[in-house]
Structure 1
Amino acid sequence: MDTFLHQPCLSADELFRVLRAHLPSAPLKRATTAAGVEVIGVSVAWNRVREVWDEWSGKHGETGWWPYVTLMSPDNVASLHDDVDHAALEKLMAEVACQDHDARAASVVVSSFRWSMGCAGEDEEDQEGWRDDYDPDRLAPQLSPALTKPLPGVSRWASGDRDIWGRGPRWLNFVPARGGYEVPVVLPNLIGTGNWFGYGDRILTPADDAALLRRWQEQWGAELFLAYGAYLELVVDRPPLDPRAAAQAATELLGYCDDTVQDPRTAGDGMVRSTVWSLWWD
Structure 2
Amino acid sequence: MESVLSRLSKIQRAETVTGVPLVSGSFPPGEHDRVWRALRAEHSRTGLWPVLGSTAHGAAECSYAWTSVGPQGAELLALTRRIDPAERMALIVRSVWEDCVKGMEPTDPFYLEFEADFDPVRVAAAVGDLGETPARNSGGTDWVYPPTDVLLVPAAAGHEVLALVPAEIIAIINNWSGGPSHPDLEYMDHILVLQYWERRWGAQLYGRVEGTLELAVERPPSDPLSAAVCAIEQSAYCYDLAQTLGDVRDVASRQAPASRWTFWWD
TM-score range, shorter chain: 0.7 to 0.9
Whether contact under 8 Å (1:192, 1:228) holds in the other structure is no
TM-score with structure 1 setting the length: 0.81
Q: Does 1:203 align with 2:184?
A: yes
Which of structure 1's runs of 4+ aligned residues deviate more than 6 A?
none
Name the CA distance, whole Å, in 1 between partners of 2:27 and 2:109.
Answer: 50
Q: 1:62 to 1:206 in 2, by over 3 A?
A: farther
What SS is found at the alignment partner of 1:88?
coil
Mapping of residues 259-278 of structure 1, within 5 Å: 259-261=240-242, 262-278=246-262
Residues 158-192 of structure 1: per-residue CA shift (max 9 Å, x gap)? xxxx4223x5x521101111101221111221344
Question: Which of 214, 223, 232 in structure 2 is aligned with 1:242?
Answer: 223
Question: Which of 125, 144, 147 in structure 2 is aligned with 1:164?
Answer: 144
Q: 1:67 to 1:32 in 2, by over 3 A?
A: same
Q: Greater CA deviation, 106-115 or 198-207?
A: 198-207
Q: 1:275 to 1:18 in 2, by over 3 A?
A: closer
Q: Does 1:113 align with 2:97?
A: yes
Whether contact under 8 Å (2:58, 2:168) holds in the other structure is no
Mapping of residues 137-216 of structure 1, within 5 Å: 137-147=121-131, 151-153=136-138, 155-156=140-141, 162-165=142-145, 170-199=148-177, 202-216=183-197
Supply the AA of the counterpart residue of 1:180.
G
Please, which runs of 5 or more residues in structure 2 have no aligned partner? none
Q: 1:197 to 1:33 in 2, by over 3 A?
A: farther
Question: Which of 15, 32, 40 in structure 2 is aligned with 1:57?
Answer: 40
What SS is found at the alignment partner of 2:150?
strand
Question: Which of 51, 56, 66 in structure 1 is aligned with 2:49?
Answer: 66
Name the CA distance, whole Å, in 1 between partners of 2:66 and 2:263.
Answer: 25
Question: Which of 72, 79, 84 in structure 1 is aligned with 2:61?
Answer: 79
- The structural deviation recorded for 1:215 is 1.6
What SS is found at the alignment partner of 1:27?
strand
Supply the AA of the counterpart residue of 2:262.
S
Name the CA distance, whole Å, in 2 between partners of 1:31 and 1:50.
Answer: 24
Whether contact under 8 Å (2:4, 2:38) holds in the other structure is no
TM-score with structure 2 setting the length: 0.86
**How many residues are paired up?**
255
Q: 1:146 to 1:152 in 2, by over 3 A?
A: closer
Q: 1:260 to 1:233 in 2, by over 3 A?
A: same
Q: 1:189 to 1:127 in 2, by over 3 A?
A: same
Residues 48-78 of structure 1: per-residue CA shift (max 9 Å, x gap)? 11001011112211111110111x3211111
What SS is found at the alignment partner of 1:29?
strand
Q: Does 1:42 align with 2:25?
A: yes
Name the CA distance, whole Å, in 1 between partners of 2:214 and 2:75.
Answer: 27
* Alignment root-mean-square deviation, CA: 2.6
Identical aligned residues as a percent: 26
Whether contact under 8 Å (1:188, 1:194) holds in the other structure is no
Question: Which of 98, 109, 112 in structure 2 is aligned with 1:128?
Answer: 112
Q: 1:96 to 1:229 in 2, by over 3 A?
A: farther
